Structure 1
Amino acid sequence: MNRILFFKSAITAFLILLILIPLHLVGNAVQDRKHYREEAVRSVWQSYAGPQTLTGPVLVLPYKEILRVTDSSDPKRPNATVLQAQAGQMLVFPTTLRVKGEITPSERYRGIHKVLVYEMQSRWQGTIALPDPAELPRSAGHFGFEVGQPYITIGISDTRGLMAAPAFELDGKALKLEQGALLKSLSQGLHAEIDLPPAKAVKPGLDGRSAQARRVVPFSLALPLLGAQSLAFTPVGDQNDISLDSAWPHPSFDGDFLPRTRSVSAQGFRSNWSVTSYNTKARGQLAGSGDGTLETVSVTLIDPVNIYLQAERAVKYGAMFVLLTFAGFFMFELVKRLRIHAIQYLLVGLALAVFFLLLLSLSEHISFALAYLAASGACIGLLGFYLSFVLQSWRRGLAFATLLTVLYGALYGLLLSEDNALMLGSLLMFVILAAIMVMTRRIDWYAAGAAWQPLRDKPAAPSGEDDAAAAAAPASA
């Protein structure tokens, strides 16, 4: 390979690296705009309501257990026995829990950013076994119990979403719900105090003593709620049957349990979950200290076209666009013996980078497909016009514009086919590499670039040929 070809290759590689700088800046702009959108979403959530997680109902029976413990603090009475109170609570979960919810989506705007929110009308029904204080677990040294006020608790992750006072009934009696879940594992919610009636049935215990049978009573809850983006339910019952319907056609079922049955169409979705207490650790998580983690069934209302995700994926292919375009220039220079200046390479590379910035800015105001069409059409038209002069032929400029159109079309296909993007991208790169290899199969790379070499650098003719030319000159004159 001669020096000219080596330097030309080195300059082209340097220009490719140089164009990566504006591509990186465009990528940063995408991240900034994505961050601004997330701030807009959080701003709507702060004044409306955020994602909702609903838990319950759970019956809580607080108590204090009086224990006999040995006090060794007094040396005069080393084995003295004293009474000590230890606080605890007994959680009673529903025997059956059935929830039917109807989700009505709507949109809110913060500036140019659209935020998806919803209203939900839900009806909860089920049964729960009322506990007996005699069933409280006893520790070593047990002396007695002091039973507190029992209450029903319902967890709501964002109580600002309550559209009206929920109507809760237990055993046919309406209960007044008050603010506060009063359970460490639930950050927000409602509770209602209850009275435990004495159990009526008596059955023999395993130890021969009589034991009170739990009384199973029905409950119902009407809960109208606002929320945003996602809705989740914690399966706390022995048997949980949850049904959700909505007119939104783009759900994502992304909780810890997939629906048992579901149907999704352009008219919306219908989903049904069936979860038993054997399938979930939610009860143990509720009885714990409350780290905020609960197993749930969940549905998320998603926007099928995330313009920032699409733009981010598009920018990742920017380096490939520049590489292929510069490779095409390089092949034109070799095959057609043209000379393209480094500044012309740089201008074309900048035009390719500006396409991604146009795509980002336009997609915030019009649909992504129209934004892509407008941005690609503008860049292809500009480059086709410019290259018709650079390549010294309008046909060559048109041919390059056609190749760019194919590349932009291939990129759009990659963006739409997220699941098959790797396979399609690999096939595209293979086809392009194969085409370059076929086009350059007859090129003598050792002699390539001789047309770019200045005349003063070319080797001089042999001296014998000079003398013959000098002798022939007078004769011709």
Structure 2
Amino acid sequence: MTMQENEADREVAGPPSAPDTSRPGGFGAFMRTPGVKFVIIGILTLLLLIPTLMVWALVEERAQRAVEVSNRISAGWGGPQVVNGPYLAVPVTVTHRQTVNNQLTTTQSTEWVLLMPEELKVDAKLETEARKLSIYSLPVYNAKLSFTGKFGTDLVQSLGVVNGVPELDRAFLVMSIADITGIRSNADIRIDGGTAQPFQPGMKGMKALRSGYNEYDAGQTYAQIDTGINRPVTRDLIEKGFVFDMELSLNGSTKFSLAPAGQTTTFKAAANWPDPGFEGLFLPETKTIDASGFEANWTVPYLARGIDKAVNSYVLPLGGNLMSVNLVEPVKFYQLVSRTLKYSIGFLSLVFFAVFIIELKSGRMVHWVQYVLTGLALIIFYILLLALAEHLGFAIAYGIAAAATTLLIATYVGSVTGSRKSGVSLAVVLGITYGVMYLILREDEYALLAGAIISFVTIAATMYFTRNVDWSGSRQPK
């Protein structure tokens, strides 16, 4: 046979046909078996965690940006304020004697005794507002503080905690303030009803605990601050005791904290902020919260503080035993979006299971690429939620993002399977899931319980709807 005849025969026969992968036992048929499809869906779910982690990184970046902007706002207004005092600081000269090589050596050093008032009453009225910079806001306040108290007649006797000679002429009142740039008035004190006398800046060598540290860290330099005010006190006042009252206007942001500096401390706080959070070692005895603001009252008795009325230290005590009011923002959406992402693996699995069951029931194959597109739509939900929350707040943003994602995925799956009923069914599943997840985010205490119940119901439903599935695809049709 000639070469021309062979070419003619090939033209008549046409190009070589593709292998038939759809025949029984072929690779295509194997890949379409429910068992293999189930494994592929599981692998896709795990792979989609990669873009989910990228979204998480985006949330953390935006949250860090919000912190930086908040710091810029507080730098020009005043940061979280911690007020500790007033205390009466008295230096004591201590003589040390020791014998070295049969010779008596004498040295002297100065130690400090901090005396606390017998009674201390503090009234704080906070005028609050939310200050904005760009799209970020920060709750700030101006605190009108009123201090009244009494130092008892046993001050000299209390100095006996240190064996030495008190230098009463060098004694002074001292109070620490976390951020003195927030002071908006002269701090004047009236002693025994006399004329107002101004405090001076600085703590004259005294220290206080930095916010976030406790008494165990008192000797560590990194845990100490020296920002505050002081006022000299005369010898005769120390010997007989005295009463005092003072006023102070102080700017701050996000939180106001007070140490129970008195042997018995009474603290009353009120503000026009409807979302307070009460923190610290001591919580309020009574509180009233409504849409216009809150009012709270603390009473800390002498025994509850756990320390004596006089301490031998240059670090103001009780810096870690605070009464705190936190101006909680109604929605901390970065935390909520981040918490939403923690449920992403379960959410992806649940939706993929729902699509898989719809595929089995409808008899229309859903390609793995279509599963990927569905998963990416679920991940876009988090980006949409984050972007909208920065402008509209979390609740509205969540509703819009959930509705848009539900409509998109339900329409797509209904079109792929050729069944409007399948699309509606998936929309119901997504709607319930988004609704339950929103409730979980709002009630964090029940998150584990709700998550466990949802997981159990999901696996039970999957087992029920796939109980008659031929996973291997080996069953011959009748």
Q: Which of 441, 444, 448 is residue 467 of structure 2 equivalent to? A: 441
Quick check: 1:103–1:246 contact (8 Å CA) kept in 2?
Answer: yes
Match of 2:219 in 1: none
Match of 1:461 in 2: none
Match of 1:180 in 2: 202
Offset, 1:139: 7.2
Quick check: 2:141–2:252 contact (8 Å CA) kept in 1?
Answer: yes
Task: Provide the C-alpha distance between the structure 2 equivalents of 1:17 and 1:340, rounded to a whole number of angstroms.
Answer: 19
Over 3 Å counting, the alpha-carbon distance change for 1:449 and 1:399 in structure 2 is farther
Task: Provide the C-alpha distance between the structure 2 equivalents of 1:342 and 1:198, rounded to a whole number of angstroms.
Answer: 85
Quick check: 2:264–2:302 contact (8 Å CA) kept in 1?
Answer: yes
Offset, 1:145: 6.1
Match of 1:350 in 2: 376
Q: Which of 173, 182, 193 is residue 152 of structure 1 equivalent to? A: 173
2:273 aligned counterpart, secondary structure: coil
Aligned positions, number: 430
Match of 2:192 in 1: 171
Q: Which of 89, 95, 98 is residue 121 of structure 2 equivalent to? A: 98
Offset, 1:97: 0.6
Q: Which of 25, 38, 43 is residue 14 of structure 1 equivalent to? A: 43
Return the TM-score normalized by structure 1: 0.83
Quick check: 2:161–2:311 contact (8 Å CA) kept in 1?
Answer: no
Q: Which of 122, 125, 147 is residue 145 of structure 2 equivalent to? A: 122
Over 3 Å counting, the alpha-carbon distance change for 1:340 and 1:138 in structure 2 is closer
Query: What does the per-residue CA deviation read over 1:144-200, in whole Å, with 9 as the maximum and x for residues that have no partner?
Result: 66555111111111111111102211122332210012212352110011211178x
Match of 2:89 in 1: 60
Quick check: 1:92–1:129 contact (8 Å CA) kept in 2?
Answer: no
2:245 aligned counterpart, secondary structure: strand
> Is residue 2:431 matched to residue 1:405?
yes
Quick check: 2:112–2:313 contact (8 Å CA) kept in 1?
Answer: no
Match of 2:244 in 1: 219
Match of 2:213 in 1: none
Amino acid of the structure 1 residue aligned with 2:303 = Y
Query: What does the per-residue CA deviation read over 1:75-98, in whole Å, with 9 as the maximum and x for residues that have no partner?
Result: xxx433343212112222101111
Quick check: 1:70–1:79 contact (8 Å CA) kept in 2?
Answer: no
Match of 2:257 in 1: 232
Query: What does the per-residue CA deviation read over 1:359-382, in whole Å, with 9 as the maximum and x for residues that have no partner?
Result: 011100002121112112222222
Stretch of structure 1 that moved more, 282-291 or 47-56: 282-291
Quick check: 2:146–2:246 contact (8 Å CA) kept in 1?
Answer: yes
Quick check: 2:115–2:309 contact (8 Å CA) kept in 1?
Answer: no
Quick check: 2:66–2:136 contact (8 Å CA) kept in 1?
Answer: yes
Match of 1:192 in 2: 231
Match of 1:161 in 2: 182
Quick check: 1:66–1:84 contact (8 Å CA) kept in 2?
Answer: yes
Task: Provide the C-alpha distance between the structure 1 equivalents of 2:476 and 2:60, rounded to a whole number of angstroms.
Answer: 46
2:366 aligned counterpart, secondary structure: coil
Over 3 Å counting, the alpha-carbon distance change for 1:83 and 1:147 in structure 2 is farther
Match of 2:134 in 1: 111
Offset, 1:117: 0.7
> Is residue 2:268 matched to residue 1:243?
yes
Task: Provide the C-alpha distance between the structure 1 equivalents of 2:474 and 2:460, rounded to a whole number of angstroms.
Answer: 20
Task: Provide the C-alpha distance between the structure 2 equivalents of 1:17 and 1:95, rounded to a whole number of angstroms.
Answer: 64
Match of 2:12 in 1: none
Offset, 1:242: 0.8
Quick check: 2:112–2:314 contact (8 Å CA) kept in 1?
Answer: no
Q: Which of 343, 348, 359 is residue 322 of structure 1 equivalent to? A: 348
Q: Once the two structures are aligned, what percentage of the paired residues are identical?
A: 28
Amino acid of the structure 2 residue aligned with 1:105 = T
Task: Provide the C-alpha distance between the structure 2 equivalents of 1:439 and 1:311, rounded to a whole number of angstroms.
Answer: 32
Task: Provide the C-alpha distance between the structure 2 equivalents of 1:7 and 1:346, rounded to a whole number of angstroms.
Answer: 16
Q: Which runs of 5 or more residues in structure 2 are unaligned?
A: 1-24, 209-224
Quick check: 1:151–1:194 contact (8 Å CA) kept in 2?
Answer: yes
Amino acid of the structure 2 residue aligned with 1:106 = E
Quick check: 1:235–1:277 contact (8 Å CA) kept in 2?
Answer: no
Match of 2:58 in 1: 29
CA RMSD of aligned residues (A): 2.8
Match of 1:333 in 2: 359
Query: What does the per-residue CA deviation read over 1:106-146, in whole Å, with 9 as the maximum and x for residues that have no partner?
Result: 11112211101111112111111366668744878x7x665
Match of 2:221 in 1: none
Quick check: 1:285–1:294 contact (8 Å CA) kept in 2?
Answer: no
Task: Provide the C-alpha distance between the structure 2 equivalents of 1:99 and 1:291, rounded to a whole number of angstroms.
Answer: 18
Task: Provide the C-alpha distance between the structure 2 equivalents of 1:450 and 1:322, rounded to a whole number of angstroms.
Answer: 33
Offset, 1:49: 0.6
Return the TM-score normalized by structure 2: 0.83
Quick check: 1:63–1:87 contact (8 Å CA) kept in 2?
Answer: yes
Offset, 1:386: 1.9
Q: Which of 268, 278, 286 is residue 253 of structure 1 equivalent to? A: 278
Q: Which runs of 5 or more residues in structure 1 are unaligned?
A: 73-77, 200-213, 452-477
Offset, 1:329: 2.3
Match of 1:388 in 2: 414
